[in-house]
A and B are shown apart, each in its own frame.
Chain A
């Protein structure tokens, strides 16, 4: 005789709970998940990211019902893929709305995710024990970039085509295997029908599956260790007699209701853009993408969509001069800093070897390759944050006042790099992008030192909270 499972529910719910952990899951993740009660404005963006994910999946399903991933020309001489987008826009009932929701949703996704990541940055949400929450988040960011890139090829306009051409050719810069690798990615010697079809497959099924898995892992990891908060205080350290954190409140109903406010404000702004400015002045949908792809003619000015431009600026900034006069001295100074202040012999050795290999590599391999490496490193360096922040406190609230200026400068650098990425190449602007690139990397690479400097304020035992 098997043991009867101990449950508190009865009736239909009881029948389900005997067979499936419904009530216990609900409690663990919503009604008895205790979140700090002092969440502020910045804590809206996680749930908003979930909302945008749902918008993208739902609108995406309906777009796939009418879209055709086909680069061949129709009777009118227009690529079938391009024509099917125009068909959705003009002939499918409400098709224009579904498509604008999806295209605006892509940009909205990056707006909320960048703000969500910035929140993590200023409140130290990546610090122990939340390293895996942060790493899953970074992987989600990578997936999102891949998803946006693959999706951008599908309308098969001029920017779709030439954007994909440039990014796939990035891989050709890898020494030895590069050219073959880029042919393998395209499935042809130029971006063509094979490329369009495989990007479609990645965009509608492969990446979304990975993305959903990572989002689940991100939330499970978060709920295992508990949410951080603007004070960076560990709420589990102060519990009441029943074992509940005194500064925690159940996520449901408190934060589910609270997030309705964020959702409402977000949807007002989102709808305003969808209905009144879906192209957003050429930043959400670029004007050149309303011209069918022409493999023989690059548009006079090509730039990626706004959310990629900071990284695109890094790519463009890397020239022979930049490597020789800026990056090499910076890396050598960095290695000396590690040698003088480092405590671990192993880290010193690895740093010297890595810097030596890079400087020799700068001389042997062309700048084009290092531009690609720089762009990749600018994203990958985010993964290191939990281990390079040596500040004794988590939140910016209890850090020295000048740390705020450092974070402020980083935001300015990021925005300026983003702005430069949409501009045509000019020597003066390129110089600015080079300074910006150096500052971007300096922010992270020097973080182990500057994050521990200055006089820190005492962190309270309880969160700062005034009842409304």
Chain B
């Protein structure tokens, strides 16, 4: 007595010769077409079902709503001091530059890749399209994120020869990840991995000493 699990399947029921049966039954082209069309429509539906999953990767409504402007008081800052504030999860630097620091921008002008801030990948607001890249020459406001791969550069305000920097270093920023260097206006030096100057966020002065980052009058 055999009791194979297959014995109940319809394939092995009375006529156990599927090959012979297939040969006896003529091909029905209209059924073939119907199967093809059904499969094609099903595939379109399957592809459409991918859309919500792909879209779920985009920033959520909550993430989009975050990012209110932040205010910073610069009255207590010393010349040469750098302050970091968080705006939209990114570090924004406010640097109060000394006259020497501003002077150094003249010597770096021919060494930087985009002295006029004309590139458009991170568009510089019109009020910062000047050699000092800021509204007031004294205060530099930039997003402290390297335009190469998103590391936050380190301040290297000490001048002169030192590790990872050229011997005629006049002060600026060094990205620890891939060695891009920026001058004290956040302008990237030529032939470095970073293609763009440091981004200038939209900002405005609420008073002589209070800066609002994230909004401007434009």
Contacts and interface: CB of A to CB of B under 8 A. Distances in A.
A428 to B, nearest CB: 11
A2 B90 contact: no
B35 to A, nearest CB: 29
Contacts of A424: 163-164, 176, 179
Contacts of B149: 165-167, 169-170, 172-173, 368
A160 interface: no
Nearest to B180: A425
B177 interface: yes
Contacts of B154: 298, 300
Given A188-B89, A189-B67, A194 B176 contact: no
B30 to A, nearest CB: 34
A166 B151 contact: yes
Contacts of B178: 315-316, 425
B88 A189 contact: yes
Contact of B176 (A1, A295, A300): A300
B193 A297 contact: no
Interface string B58-86: 11100100010000000000000000101
B38 interface: no
Query: Of residues A170, A188, A295, A320, which shows the largest number of chain B Cβ atoms within 10 Å of its Cβ?
Result: A188
* Interface size classification for chain B: 35 or more
A134 B177 CA distance: 34
Interface stretch (A24-32, A179-187, A218-226): A179-187
Contacts of A162: 151, 177
A2 B12 contact: yes
A1 B148 CA distance: 73
Contacts of B151: 162, 165-166, 298, 302
A19 interface: yes
Interface stretch (B1-9, B103-111, B202-210): B1-9
Contacts of A2: 2, 4, 6-7, 12
A194 B12 contact: no
Query: Of residues B90, B163, B176, which shows the largest number of chain A Cβ atoms within 10 Å of its Cβ?
Result: B176
* Interface size classification for chain A: 35 or more
A194 B63 contact: yes
Contact of B59 (A1, A183, A299, A316): A183
Given A18-B4, A166-B151, A368-B193, A298 B176 contact: yes
A424 B60 CA distance: 37
A295 B143 CA distance: 12
A321 B191 CA distance: 7
Given A2-B12, A301-B176, A426 B4 contact: no
Given A189-B59, A426-B164, 17 more contacts: A3-B2, A5-B4, A168-B150, A183-B59, A184-B57, A187-B57, A187-B60, A194-B60, A198-B57, A295-B90, A296-B86, A296-B144, A298-B154, A300-B154, A319-B193, A320-B191, A426-B179
